[in-house]
């Protein structure tokens, strides 16, 4: 992890990355979908190459901006009603080509917090959890990851109850990917922590006089039991959500988890 901290330049870069989101919020503007996606991609790249001092505050700023988006969809566009057409014009219109359909969203407008966007928020929590786990507090990293799993599962269950529309399919895919990765990360984090604490417990027991071992229960032993229990909870959630993730392959080696070793 020696390549993570590279001095003042990264902090400045992180501030530069956050500026478009922060400026938009100060001016009362809502960031567009394109801006949020671009900054997320850039922060992900920074994290993947170990520049977490730039990535972490950027992820946090994007998450804050997303949480301030509207909870309701924008009002539908109403076509301006022109003057009444005569019967001749109406008949002539039958032989004219139909009007072009409305252009799809080009990303210049702000999204609203539907199921897909809420799972995008959960994905940001996963990134934040991975970085915290690797660089600051493993316990906080697990907590952020657990919250991301809860949010993704909640939205995925809601989406599966509404079948058919293209938007639902996109939301389902996003939520499935987030949930699958989150469960993998959560289980891996808890297992690694349990393994570390178990080794500490074994080392402590080896150094204890045998006559005292029966009466002693070290803090490491209790902590190891806690993380073993956490791992079991994660594995049980994997079992419970198996039907929701049938179409999703198990996540490959996560690019960030591959860098952030315990």
Q: Consecutive 10-residue runs of the chain (262 residues): their mean pLDDT?
A: 32 52 63 96 95 96 96 75 57 63 81 96 98 95 98 95 73 96 97 90 71 52 81 96 83 53 46
Is 91 among the domain residues? no
**Which is it for the CA torsion 205, 189, 243, 152, positive or negative?**
positive
User: Quick one: pLDDT at residue 176?
Assistant: 96
Check whether residue 160 and residue 45 sit in a common domain: no
| Residue 63 · residue 122 · CB < 8 Å | no
Check whether residue 154 and residue 58 sit in a common domain: no
Tell me the DSSP string of 108-146. Answer: -SPP---HHHHHHHHHHHHHHHHHHHHHT-HHHHHHHHH
Tell me the residue range of the domain where 62 lies. Answer: 1-70
User: Quick one: pLDDT at residue 220?
Assistant: 56
- Residue 194: its H or E element: helix 166-207
d(CA 148, CA 180): 11
- Please say which residue of 48, 70, 92 terminates a domain: 70
User: Quick one: pLDDT at residue 247?
Assistant: 73
Is 86 among the domain residues? no
Is 30 among the domain residues? yes
d(CA 227, CA 232): 9
Is 202 among the domain residues? yes
Site of tokens 């079991």? 232
User: Quick one: pLDDT at residue 168?
Assistant: 84
Is 171 among the domain residues? yes
Check whether residue 118 and residue 190 sit in a common domain: yes
Check whether residue 122 and residue 224 sit in a common domain: yes
Q: CB atoms < 10 A from the CB of 146, how many? A: 21
Check whether residue 127 and residue 24 sit in a common domain: no
User: Total structural domains in the chain?
Assistant: 2
- Please say which residue of 52, 70, 88 terminates a domain: 70
- Residue 238: its H or E element: helix 219-240
Check whether residue 45 and residue 116 sit in a common domain: no
Check whether residue 133 and residue 54 sit in a common domain: no
User: Quick one: pLDDT at residue 183?
Assistant: 98
Check whether residue 49 and residue 157 sit in a common domain: no
User: Quick one: pLDDT at residue 6?
Assistant: 30
Buried b (16+ CB within 10 A) or exposed e, 207-235: eeeeeeeeeeeeebbebbeebbebbeebe
Check whether residue 62 and residue 130 sit in a common domain: no
Give the closest residue to 201 by CA, choosing from 188, 191, 216: 216
Is 198 among the domain residues? yes
């Amino acid at each position: 992890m020696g390549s993570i901290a590279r001095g003042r330049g990264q902090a400045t870069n992180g501030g530069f990355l956050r500026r478009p989101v922060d400026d938009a919020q100060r001016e009362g503007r809502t960031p567009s979908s394109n801006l949020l996606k671009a900054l997320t991609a850039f922060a992900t790249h920074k994290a993947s190459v170990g520049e977490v001092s730039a990535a972490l505050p950027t992820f946090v700023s994007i998450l804050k901006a997303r949480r301030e988006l509207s909870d309701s969809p924008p009002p539908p566009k109403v076509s301006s009603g022109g003057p009444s057409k005569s019967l001749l014009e109406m008949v002539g219109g039958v032989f004219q080509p139909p009007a072009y359909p409305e252009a799809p969203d080009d990303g210049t407008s702000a999204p609203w917090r539907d199921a897909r966007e809420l799972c995008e928020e959960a994905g940001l929590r996963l990134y934040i959890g991975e970085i915290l786990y690797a660089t600051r507090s493993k316990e906080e990293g697990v907590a952020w990851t657990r919250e991301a799993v809860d949010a993704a599962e909640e939205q995925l269950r809601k989406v599966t109850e509404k079948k058919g529309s293209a938007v639902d399919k996109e939301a389902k895919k996003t939520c499935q990917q987030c949930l699958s990765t989150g469960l993998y990360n959560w289980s891996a984090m808890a297992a690694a922590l349990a393994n570390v604490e178990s080794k500490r417990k074994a080392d402590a027991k080896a150094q204890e006089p045998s006559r005292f071992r029966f009466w002693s229960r070290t803090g490491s032993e209790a902590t190891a039991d806690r993380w073993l229990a956490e791992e079991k909870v994660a594995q049980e959630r994997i079992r419970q959500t198996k039907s929701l993730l049938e179409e999703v392959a198990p996540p490959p080696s996560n690019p960030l988890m591959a860098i952030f070793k315990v």
